[in-house]
Structure 1
Amino acid sequence: MKNTSLFLAGCVCVSLILASPGDCKMLTIDDVSPDWTEAEAKLLPAALEAKNWEAVRDAVFTVSKAPENAYRRFLLGYACFKSSDHLGTVAALMGLESEVPLMAHWVRYLRGQSMFALGRLQDAEADLAAIGTGSPLYRWAQYHLGDVYLALGKDSQAALAWERSGRTDAETISKRAAAMKSSGQSSDAMSLLKKAYYRTASAGRKAYKAALDALGFGAEAQQETAADLLEQAQALLDAHMNVDAEKAAGALVDSKSPDVRCKALLIRGLARQKLRKHKLALEDFDPLIQGCSQWVNRDRALFLAVRSAYRGGFNDKGEALAITLKTDHPDATFNDDVALMRARTALGGGKTKLAMEILDDSLKRWPDGDMADESRWLLAWSAYRGKEFKVALQALKDGAHFAQNIDYRSRFAYWEGRTLQKLKREKEAKKVYEQTVLTFPLKYHAWLALSRLADMRRGGKVNAVLDGLLKNQPRGQQFLTVADVTQLDQGAMGRALWLCKAGLPHLAENELGTSTGDSVDSMWLSTWILNLSGSYTKSHRAAMNLIHEGQPYWPNSDSLGYYKLSYPRPHYPVVQAAAKEAEIEEALIYGVMRQESAFVTGIESRANAIGLMQLIMPTAESMAKRLKLTATPQTLRTPEVNVRLGSQYLAVLLARFKLPILAIPGYNAGGGAIGKHLKNNPGLPLDEFVETIGAQETRNYARKVFESYAAYRFLYNEGNDRFTRVDFNPKSPPH
């Protein structure tokens, strides 16, 4: 009997096609799932889902008896290992590497650790040392091998093993230094600990200080050099401890060494810039520009100074610095970034003509710069907003021709249609909208174009428009099609699938960090396994990249699985309950979650937003009062609380603004900011409204989340609820 409840995860009705020349065999997900007996199916799936390893061990012992099946033996060995039953691990795995050579490194890795726990040091050394550099377990094996060598009195080998492990945590570095000292490498040991101490900005410094004292290096290590203090200031800056970085670097800016002085000025200037002390930051950047080019990149210093000048409201100084950068460093990659700053500043001051001149000059000078797409967009948008529609049309066509990024390409395409409508060229606009829909499936601008086409039909429906366009169009291949079947029983892919068959898909992720083949099929298979293992962050991003790198299409029932990998639904029971409670759509919750946290449960941002829906404490506490819950940083790390509170906040925004396309930017910038923008722009069509939101972060957020919201509706809803239509000019304007 087969049970696939563990493996369905976010994918529904998954199937796998294995194709070979002249043959095509259809497999279901059961073919890469454990083949449980009826008795096993009653016990093992639930125990595995709960990761109750003692229950798994006992179930295999009880139901499977003394399993001869290699999958069950490995599962038993792993369950024993996780239950600290090391005798059981050794017994279950003994000889399995010969029976299943494909899984030899996993067998040796688990057995080696259990041998060490049992005091069988030579056996542990033999197992762990046999794991080669090509294994994804190599670094972990080296870490544990270091402990084995230390117990065997091989201190120098232990230090080398810990170095090869690549681990940089305080415990490993301290153990490595102790082993180095005991093997006669005192100077290197002290240097290792000192470097780690000064490169650490967190509480880990206490551990390094304790290790220095314990090894007798305390007094000697206290002799700080300027280089040590610079390392510390940089570490503080990298950790976003900007107040501390400003202070640490400030102690060095009067150094007699120009190298130290210049680097300290740079660190302090960056810290002040992050703290929005732009006037003070300029005071640090100015001497960098004037006399530090030997130690600090002058073009970078100029760029940083320009940024602080504009952000601090010192526009004349910003303009002068920008001209200096362009004149003295014409090939610097910062130039097109600065041109954008200048153009946006000009637009903010109502100087549209000047902004367009700046952008035009920038594109002539740096047509392939990393900001070229944004420059072309701003040039086109400036012309559109200035009602210079013929100029805008040409700029949009140029943008579409040069753009590589799919988001820019779809944006240029849609607004070309809008510009043609402004020029009363309706037939041409219709063709452009239709091409936008077909070329950019499920993208934000495709939904806008569909809505425009429905409006042009006077009462037309989005689903009818889309059905008409998709006649005779490719809809993608059956999910999941694999042409090369040999990859399924060899290499990293074979091991990943084997682990799934053993009932341990969460271990498969370790294998998928190694090469799994270069074919698109193998990459999709890898992405699917990541999804099955619960690695939704990696899997949805990989799927999104594969879709964009290939030939996108509007999926049908056969090919939906590919897109569902890009738009998974983790924690579905939690989201379903929260949506019902808040009376909002599940698709909206998932659209926000996908953008906010990429499905990482306990994530916390630099702005102290926490959890799946990235809530800051004031918002969380306000929503918690409504639901009679307690909001703390700890509870916000649980999906059950976080999703409920985030959904409630979405419901509040929807009650105010009525439409998801407005509630979404409100979630990012706050309802007050969006309400003010609506008040200042009455009657503005909603596609233009999104493009005129002041903060670039919020504009991008609005597009991306609405795109995800519409995609989730299309992929998971039924009937007409799958289709999203934008009401560009609502009769009852939100406020």
Structure 2
Amino acid sequence: MKRINPYFLFIPVLAFGLAGATTATQSPVSPPNPTGASTPPDPCATVLRDAENPQLQPVLSLSLMRCYEAHKMDKQADVFAWEVMAAPFWNVEVLALLEAAAHLKDAKKEVANQLVAHPISILDWAPHTGDRKRRSALAELWVQVAQHGPVQSQVKARERLHVVLGDTDEAKAFGKNKQPKLSVPQQKTRIANLSLRHENRIILTEGPKAIKGQPLNEDTCEIAYQVGKSGRKKRHYKKAHRFLDRVLKECSGTPVRKASYMKAKVASFQALSAALPLYDHFLANYPQDPLADDVMMMKALHLETSKKTTEAVATYKTLLSQYPDGDMWHEAAFRLAFALARAADVTGAIAQLDSLARKDKLDAFTQDRALYWRGRLKIYPDLKKLTPTQSQVSKEQGWQELQALSQTRSASYYGHLALRLMFHASEHLHMPASIAAPSPFVPMNTRLQTPLPDLPQQQEELALVKALIDRGYDAEAIWVLDRLQKVGNISHLDRALGYYLAEAYGKSHRELRKARLHWPHGLPVKDTLHTWQLAFPLAYDAAFKNAAEVYELPQSMLWGLSREESAFEKDVTSWAGARGLCQLMPATAKEEAQLGKIPLPNLNALFIPKTNTLLGAQHLSRRLKLLQHPFLAIAAYNAGPGNVRKWRKRLHDYQAMDAFVEAIPVNQTRNYVRKVVGSWITYAYLTGETVQTDFSMQLPKPR
């Protein structure tokens, strides 16, 4: 098919890498009409008028292509599809290129030639590391080049698909019968890329074959290490140890250091007796390694959960003294206090918590945690049971501290625990007369609520984003914001606001996490309210409201769960295969769909908010009915009810819910429960759903 020349030239207007960009400035010229009949109106006239705006000219070729395609005006759509392929604004955006290439399906050879020619040169692109959709789009375009491009480009495309994008469904399908023969360095690169995408099953199949019968060198040592690492992730511990041992025996330098660390990590899931020598080996050989404090933390936690409390306390103290600037310091400082309390050294635990609470530049979560437990142990010194102290002075001091925390941080996990503990004490007559009775959980004053501000207009890039959103071009606005992560000088907060206004809640939340703004301090006030609104978006309100009503759950609880599961990215897939807003595994989703008679025609339906939230809400509701406490249900959502029952049996003497959560032996689940409950409480505070945040501070009796 011969390429159709565009009717009109587009005018470059933006400075950030858009030289030579083009767009339509008027409607296509209609052919003469000899009959004198009136010409039908152009269905894309609105987009064409928007394209007359100099600010929007570089981006609307894509919108015009979409519009004419929707109205089956293929000739006009072809024009703008080629414009997308040629325009500097879009020929660096893989999703736009894929959309244009899909429209030009009858010109596959011409498109393939265009893709490999300057300035696109798509075979030289580095795939996006964290965006599954863009990785898949790039793979699809490389497949088109491999099938229809120039001969040399076909060879390169096949290799790059297999080596660089081997994790994508497109590359897997294409390579089923056409896998290129790879050199050992290429195999190493392929396996390293597969590791980044958590394709552990493929690594465990291909890795051993790649090094079978070969001596270990720089390349094969790395492959052997990756096999060991994947074995750990898939819980094939014997296989993991076998390949890591080979690295330790036959390799040198960095692979040995990495294998030593991975051996310790594998052992952290096994018996303490086997793990201790591996922890100590790494710490003796690599005391200044950036991961040394992580290994010492593994050792301390392993000792603590194995009830070797004295040894755990000593290890935490060593970590705090040897690695004062390490990223494990704050967690170790708290775990030391918790271990001291476990050993009934309440005075030592309170002193440690007091020291931690007074440390400069603490994040909000760590400070809340230290303040809560300092007050809690002054009132209820028995970690496992809510039995009050006999000391009136200690009791009054503790209640004053918890009362202050419940008032200043009521929208947080530990602030709300303080309030619930006050209600527990009031009900059981543990509260001294000098302390005022607890007030109900009061939501945010509605007078504080104000609309989010507009994007600042001083920067040309943000002015473009605002103009696109104002005219309903949300997808284009999102792509512009994506591009601004690589070029331009836009703050995380402004990018978060732009994404939010375009309803890309997941991307907005990710920007806040980068800037550490996703857990704001204190309570919302006039100057910080907008940050709170961005950090806790009322995303997909209709879907969550419907699911909450169907399964009689607080909507704020479902929002809190989704915020931590997916950060509200409705089309995200985790490395383990969990999908959508509530991160449902395929098998779980199918089971819930069958039980609830919820239509699930295929797994892609899990990317539909209404479907996903219904399935997620039903799954959580069933866990809640089974385990009889929201904290336990949330833990089971993450780790499964079997593990929760096992932990309850292991921690059978724990009656206090707050201590049970801190004693959960799996880091991921322990953190997950606190984050989900914290988000749930914050949403309840912001939306007024506070009456549904009552929960018992004591564990229910096991069924």
Shorter-chain TM-score above 0.5? yes
The answer to whether the 8 A contact 1:177-1:189 is kept is yes
Structure 1 residue 688 displacement after superposition: 1.0
Match 2:55 to one of 96, 102, 109: 102
Match 1:323 to one of 277, 280, 289: 280
- The alpha-carbon distance between structure 1 residues 640 and 288, as it changes in their structure 2 partners (threshold 3 A), is same
Structure 1 residue 564 displacement after superposition: 3.8
The answer to whether the 8 A contact 2:420-2:695 is kept is yes
- The alpha-carbon distance between structure 1 residues 558 and 320, as it changes in their structure 2 partners (threshold 3 A), is closer
The answer to whether the 8 A contact 1:138-1:165 is kept is no
What is the alpha-carbon distance in structure 2 between the residues aligned to residue 189 and residue 713 of structure 1?
Answer: 56
TM-score (norm 2): 0.75
Q: Deviations over 1:523-542 (max 9, x none)?
A: 65654443342212123454
State the one-letter code of the partner of 1:282: H
What is the alpha-carbon distance in structure 1 between the residues aligned to residue 552 and residue 418 of structure 2?
Answer: 28
2:266 aligned residue = 308
Match 1:654 to one of 608, 624, 637: 624
Stretch moving more, 567-576 or 457-466? 457-466
State the one-letter code of the partner of 2:353: L
What is the alpha-carbon distance in structure 1 between the residues aligned to residue 289 and residue 680 of structure 2?
Answer: 39
- The alpha-carbon distance between structure 1 residues 573 and 128, as it changes in their structure 2 partners (threshold 3 A), is closer
The answer to whether the 8 A contact 1:142-1:165 is kept is no
- The alpha-carbon distance between structure 1 residues 160 and 320, as it changes in their structure 2 partners (threshold 3 A), is same
By relative contact order (CA 8 Å, sep 6+), the higher-ranking structure is 1
What is the alpha-carbon distance in structure 2 between the residues aligned to residue 560 and residue 466 of structure 1?
Answer: 17
Match 1:190 to one of 131, 140, 155: 155
2:187 aligned residue = 229
What is the alpha-carbon distance in structure 2 between the residues aligned to residue 709 and residue 263 of structure 1?
Answer: 43
1:417 aligns with 2:348: no
* 1:568-587 correspondence to structure 2 within 5 Å: 568-587=537-556
State the one-letter code of the partner of 2:676: V
2:237 aligned residue = 278
What is the alpha-carbon distance in structure 2 between the residues aligned to residue 577 and residue 123 of structure 1?
Answer: 40
The answer to whether the 8 A contact 1:129-1:141 is kept is no
Stretch moving more, 203-212 or 609-618? 203-212
What is the alpha-carbon distance in structure 2 between the residues aligned to residue 387 and residue 237 of structure 1?
Answer: 44
State the one-letter code of the partner of 1:249: G
What is the alpha-carbon distance in structure 1 between the residues aligned to residue 284 and residue 154 of structure 2?
Answer: 49
What is the alpha-carbon distance in structure 2 between the residues aligned to residue 375 and residue 689 of structure 1?
Answer: 18
Stretch moving more, 638-647 or 586-595? 638-647
* 1:697-716 correspondence to structure 2 within 5 Å: 697-716=668-687
1:686 aligned residue = 657
Match 1:246 to one of 190, 195, 204: 204
Stretch moving more, 162-171 or 279-288? 162-171
1:67 aligned residue = none
Structure 1 residue 707 displacement after superposition: 1.3
Partner SS, residue 488 of structure 1: coil
What is the alpha-carbon distance in structure 2 between the residues aligned to residue 166 and residue 88 of structure 1?
Answer: 40
2:289 aligned residue = 332
The answer to whether the 8 A contact 1:253-1:264 is kept is no
Stretch moving more, 505-514 or 334-343? 505-514
Structure 1 residue 403 displacement after superposition: 6.7
Match 2:465 to one of 496, 510, 534: 496
What is the alpha-carbon distance in structure 2 between the residues aligned to residue 370 and residue 304 of structure 1?
Answer: 19
Partner SS, residue 288 of structure 1: helix
1:642 aligned residue = 612
Gaps of at least 5 residues in structure 2 are 1-22, 29-39, 128-134, 382-388
What is the alpha-carbon distance in structure 2 between the residues aligned to residue 647 and residue 152 of structure 1?
Answer: 45
1:354 aligned residue = 311
The answer to whether the 8 A contact 1:128-1:145 is kept is yes
2:141 aligned residue = 172
What is the alpha-carbon distance in structure 1 between the residues aligned to residue 587 and residue 80 of structure 2?
Answer: 56
The answer to whether the 8 A contact 1:617-1:632 is kept is no
What is the alpha-carbon distance in structure 2 between the residues aligned to residue 668 and residue 693 of structure 1?
Answer: 12
2:450 aligned residue = 479
Structure 1 residue 383 displacement after superposition: 0.5
What is the alpha-carbon distance in structure 1 between the residues aligned to residue 410 and residue 330 of structure 2?
Answer: 21
Structure 1 residue 352 displacement after superposition: 0.8
- The alpha-carbon distance between structure 1 residues 693 and 348, as it changes in their structure 2 partners (threshold 3 A), is closer
Structure 1 residue 353 displacement after superposition: 0.8
1:397 aligned residue = 354
What is the alpha-carbon distance in structure 1 between the residues aligned to residue 565 and residue 626 of structure 2?
Answer: 21
- The alpha-carbon distance between structure 1 residues 625 and 165, as it changes in their structure 2 partners (threshold 3 A), is closer
State the one-letter code of the partner of 1:353: T
TM-score (norm 1): 0.72
- The alpha-carbon distance between structure 1 residues 462 and 516, as it changes in their structure 2 partners (threshold 3 A), is farther
- The alpha-carbon distance between structure 1 residues 236 and 126, as it changes in their structure 2 partners (threshold 3 A), is closer
**Greater helix proportion:** 1
Structure 1 residue 332 displacement after superposition: 0.6
CA RMSD of aligned residues (A): 4.7
- The alpha-carbon distance between structure 1 residues 359 and 225, as it changes in their structure 2 partners (threshold 3 A), is same
Gaps of at least 5 residues in structure 1 are 1-72, 79-85, 213-217
1:293 aligned residue = 252
Q: Deviations over 1:589-616 (max 9, x none)?
A: 2222222233333544444444433344
1:259 aligned residue = 218
Structure 1 residue 327 displacement after superposition: 2.2
Structure 1 residue 632 displacement after superposition: 6.2
